[in-house]
Chains A and B, each alone.
Chain A
Amino acid sequence: MKALYIASTGMSAQERNVEVISNNIANMRTTGFKRQRAEFQDLLYQQVTRAGAQTSDQGSQVPAGLEIGSGVRTVSTPRVMSQGTVSMTERELDVAIRGEGFFQIQLPDGRTAYTRDGSFERSAEGTLVNSVGYTVDPGITVPGDARGISIAPDGTVEAFIGTDSAPTQLGQLQLARFTNKSGLESMGDNLFLETAASGAPQVGVPNSDGTGDLLQNYLEMANVNSVTEIADLIAAQRAYEMNARVISGADQMMQATSQLR
């Protein structure tokens, strides 16, 4: 019975769907999180009769073919890279990106990761790091006696050092853009990695060449919409149940067959 296998592809697809939805809901309060959506495609068709096959010498043709599909597969879980809402935090090292772009984070193994999570901290040496302690690239060091750090929309970081009355420029934050940002690989910790599908990063200063500007004292929240997620969850659960119902229907048919003497 083909129906059994077809329905099982349906059940596993819906299982995946629920996994994606639950990850979205779990990360509803994660800074800079981008929701994912499971995308499905139908599987191959068995062509029992081809449409257009000739049915007589006079050239009459089959108007519609007989095609039996073989189920569904999860093809991708693209991230929806829409802007999350920004929320005020009153912390001077919290930065939200308004528009396109990612902060660059130097991983301990030398690679560069990308993130929308701008909740930065100062390390013991005064270096600007992310909340796991990885250095923000390009490196910016804030001296211990700095006060009144300001981050401008174009990424310029300034602070008053000691008793100075004029601010000193400490560096400028940069943003990386990708041709295909949905193709980035998620590595957890709010970080993304470059892949062959995403293309190479184009690094630039904020507020130029299509990159967004920066907003100090704000953080970008997750772009998860709870109502959408719950609606999707219900749809996924019902779809799962219907697939299970198909399996038991197919089983009932097989039982009818096997009870024949």
Chain B
Amino acid sequence: MENAQLIGLSRQIALQRQMDVVAHNVANINTTGFKAEQILFEEYTMPVARDRTFPTMDQPLSYVQDWATIHDLSSGTAQQTGNDLDVAINGDGFFAVQTAAGERWTRAGSFGISNTGTLVDQSGNPVLGTGGPIQFGPEETGIAIGADGSISSSEGAKGRLRIVEFANAQELTREGQNLFAGGTPIAATRSQVMQGYVERSNVSGVAEMAELIRVTRAYESIASLTSKQDDLRRTAIQRLGDANA
């Protein structure tokens, strides 16, 4: 009798998680280089004790389980900013940045220059070139970044941005601060960079709102199922417990 309620509960918990994912996507709708998350569910078939005494066999119970969140890695819109140090990637690549915990990957290409002249991201992590961090001298002007990531200034060539790609980008984990970790980086072959642009978040407001409505409705229908179950049980107890029965 309680199975239906427990199954409903597994769905409700999964829906709450899905709501969290929707909320997180919407919250980051204006975050540079943000990639939307999608949550995947799978059926979990409960192994039940079987008995052949009854004419029909016990049916397996299926619960729902949230299984994974995947990254929607489609490109966000490139927005022109006119800032020399804003770089967007056209393709599947990621920028490499050096953090205290090791190398991390990001699509948020709104960079700056630190007080020591190093190219850094908005958290102050050095952005890596093919030969380590990229350094600018105090007198340099006219920083230009080519489509292949090569950087030059009034002082000549300054190196090349390290752009990495992944055979399976789904294995990357998110760290917050627009950073991804893990994976096996390979040198980029299908990516080009655009100077003076930043990549906007790829969250689609319309899709998220549709998802939001679907989630709330599904949640409500499970809630109503739960209360119907409860009614059913109460009525059963009342009828069975009635002295006149």
Contact = CB atoms under 8 A, between A and B. Distances in A.
A19 interface: no
B92 interface: no
Interface string B146-184: 000000001000000000000010111111111000100
A245 B209 contact: yes
Interface stretch (A74-82, A141-149, A158-166): A74-82
B22 interface: yes
A88 interface: no
Interface string A247-261: 001101100110111
Interface in B19-36: 19-24, 26-32, 34
B216 interface: yes
B69 A41 contact: no
Contacts of A13: 27, 30
Contact of A182 (B67, B112, B172, B208): B112
A42 B220 contact: no
Contact of A210 (B15, B27, B116, B154): B154
Contact of A239 (B21, B84, B116, B205): B205
Contact of B20 (A6, A47, A50, A177): A6
A64 interface: yes
Contacts, number: 229
A197 B113 CA distance: 9
A39 B110 contact: yes
Contact of B23 (A10, A37, A81): A10
A100 interface: yes
Contacts of B59: none
Interface size class of B (residues with CB under 8 A): 35 or more
B37 A239 contact: no
Contact of A75 (B70, B113, B117, B122): B122
B174 A45 contact: yes
B243 to A, nearest CB: 25
A99 B141 contact: yes
Given A2-B20, A246-B23, A63 B68 contact: yes
Interface stretch (B45-53, B93-101, B132-140): B132-140
B244 interface: no
B230 interface: yes
B95 to A, nearest CB: 14
A183 B212 CA distance: 40
B82 interface: yes
Contact of A256 (B136, B182, B219): B219
B17 interface: yes
Contacts of A197: 114-115
B203 to A, nearest CB: 9
Contact of A242 (B29, B82, B176, B223): B29
Interface residues of A, number: 75
Contacts of A17: 30
A81 B83 CA distance: 7
Contacts of B7: none
B103 interface: no
A44 B176 contact: yes
Interface secondary structure of A, over-half rule: mixed
Interface string B222-237: 0110110010000000
B110 to A, nearest CB: 6
B130 interface: no
Contacts of B182: 51-52
Interface string A215-250: 000000001000000000001101100110110011
B78 interface: no
A10 B27 contact: yes
B39 interface: yes
Interface stretch (A65-73, A89-97, A111-119, A129-137): A65-73
B16 interface: yes
9 contacts: A2-B20, A3-B23, A7-B23, A41-B31, A42-B178, A63-B168, A235-B30, A236-B30, A259-B223
Given A68-B24, A69-B24, 16 more contacts: A3-B16, A3-B20, A4-B23, A39-B110, A64-B69, A66-B67, A69-B28, A78-B122, A198-B115, A242-B208, A245-B212, A249-B22, A249-B213, A252-B219, A253-B19, A256-B224
Interface of A: 1-4, 6-7, 9-10, 13-14, 17, 37-45, 47-52, 62-72, 75-76, 78, 80-82, 99-100, 177, 179-180, 182-183, 196-199, 202, 209-210, 223, 235-236, 238-239, 242-243, 245-246, 249-250, 252-253, 256-257, 259-261
